[in-house]
Structure 1
Amino acid sequence: MLNGIRVFDTVLDGLHIKDTVSRNSADFWKPFCKSAGWKFSHERVHSLNDLEYFFSKKIKEDIVIFSGHGNEDGFYLSNGECFTGNELKDFPQKNHDKVIIFSSCLIGKNEELTRGFKSYFKSQVIFSYRHLMSDRFCFLNESILLTTIEHLFNKGKLSFTQNDFINFQVKTEFMKNMNEKHVKLHPMVMT
């Protein structure tokens, strides 16, 4: 069984940059985790300083989700700063070995960036998207992915492999054009 999910949420809508509460993926993940029997915690982050503060604390959950804007350059915070893993001091060892999900657009399009994130977090795996994504389709893909991972762990599997991810992609292939038409590749990638 998965220990739980920690969400780091940042504001998406640049037109409402002073609105620091309209984006809240916790509205989806909190009831989902409750129904799955997983722990859940949520932090609102607005700056690199916020990230550094929260990273310095023990993250007890196995899954860490970054929810907000992204592109091939990195993950954008409410104040406009971009997180790539190079801006902060080393990620504390007490928080290594997590599963990291970037629930944001286009980060998965930059293989060097995702490898850099994996190295920075010393994570088991990084999941990200190579396409533009609407929140609802991120939630759909991620909830199926995490349920798949839990199912494999409950069967005694100790890691989620590239072959497991390929099986996930095959089983969710029918969803690849829900978010955007004419998509040739599954929107989610694993590093």
Structure 2
Amino acid sequence: MEIGNRVKFLAGNERKLGTITSKKGRLLRVKGDDGKLYINTKKAGTKGAFVKNIKMQNFGIMVFDTRLDSGFRSKRQTAHFFEEYAYHAHWGFAAERIHNIESLKYFMEKRQIPGEIIIFSGHGHEKAGFSFCDGPMLNEETVIAPRKDNYGKILIFSSCLLGSNANLCMGLLEKFKAKALITYKTEMFDQYCFLAETFLLQILAHNEPPKHAVDLVNKALKPMKNYVQKSIKTFPMVCFPD
């Protein structure tokens, strides 16, 4: 294990995730996603709560799928695609179908979300936000209070247009206490989302910073920019904070 590696461990009877911040021989210091400092020794004079059995945390993704139409005709599920991809990439994977803000709040506030990445798949609007099939849309006005071990995630909104509204995206970033928010600033099609996001995930899995990962995706997919929308100068993936 090295500095910067993601790890999992037990603090008392509670499962935690964190990042190694220093290493000296077998001594590891870990900053938990809850903001606390942990250490794997009881030696006097060392700062941090003692924990044992620090283990590597495999890269993983959580997909929140929404239903795209009210008539139950759509068979589209992003989760099916990413489940197969994650299996072959040897990543952790979990998915849930969510229908409204209340179901999202349940998972963010009551359950520990596995993995580093949360993918939200559904319709987006540059002013109203992310759409559910039932009830209000998700935006910077939404009241949500994630549990502390769900802080620090990288959010990917696989949605149209959200990225064209910086205030909306920065508001969601703050609401979720996230490390980064990645989305698109134009209309998008599934085939290009899947292509861009699998490329993005591979880069993130190798511990590249989110903004750098997005820059690499946009550079690599620049030849396809006008497949998405005419007259744009770059592939339209964006990262917040920029």
Category of TM-score, reference length = shorter chain: 0.7 to 0.9
Contact 1:11 1:20 in 2 (8 A): no
> Of 57, 60, 63, which aligns to 2:114?
60
Separation in 2 of the partners of 1:34 and 1:114?
30
Higher helix share: 1
| Letter of the structure 1 residue corresponding to residue 63 of structure 2 | V
| Matched residue SS, 2:115 | coil
Contact 2:68 2:74 in 1 (8 A): no
- 2:76 aligned with 1:23, yes or no? yes
Partner of 1:148: 203
Separation in 1 of the partners of 2:84 and 2:123?
23
> Of 126, 129, 134, which aligns to 2:184?
129
Contact 1:5 1:64 in 2 (8 A): yes
Separation in 2 of the partners of 1:86 and 1:22?
31
Q: Kindly state the Cα deviation for residue 2 of structure 1 after the two structures are TM-superposed.
A: 5.2
Partner of 1:183: 232
Give the TM-score, by structure 2 length: 0.70
Contact 2:101 2:135 in 1 (8 A): no
Structure with greater Cα Rg: 2
| Letter of the structure 1 residue corresponding to residue 178 of structure 2 | S
Contact 1:2 1:150 in 2 (8 A): no
| Matched residue SS, 2:205 | helix
Partner of 1:156: none
Unpaired segments of 5 or more residues in structure 2?
1-56
- 2:142 aligned with 1:93, yes or no? no
Percent identity of paired positions between Structure 1 and Structure 2: 35
For residues 117-147 of structure 1, the C-alpha deviation after alignment (integer angstroms, 9 at most, x for no partner) is 1111111110010000011111111111111
Contact 2:164 2:185 in 1 (8 A): yes
| Matched residue SS, 2:171 | helix
Contact 1:47 1:77 in 2 (8 A): yes
User: Where do 1:42-53 residues align within 5 Å?
Assistant: 42-53=95-106
Paired residues in the alignment total 182
For residues 79-138 of structure 1, the C-alpha deviation after alignment (integer angstroms, 9 at most, x for no partner) is 152011432331221100111000000000100011111111111110010000011111
Higher strand share: 2
Contact 1:48 1:88 in 2 (8 A): no
| Letter of the structure 2 residue corresponding to residue 111 of structure 1 | A
Higher relative contact order (CA 8 A, sep 6+): 1
Contact 1:169 1:186 in 2 (8 A): yes
C-alpha spacing 1:89/1:165, structure 2 compared with 1 (3 Å): closer
> Of 18, 24, 32, which aligns to 2:85?
32
Q: Kindly state the Cα deviation for residue 150 of structure 1 after the two structures are TM-superposed.
A: 1.8
Separation in 2 of the partners of 1:2 and 1:126?
21
Separation in 2 of the partners of 1:150 and 1:77?
29
- 2:122 aligned with 1:71, yes or no? no
RMSD of aligned residue pairs (Cα, Å): 1.9
Separation in 2 of the partners of 1:88 and 1:20?
31
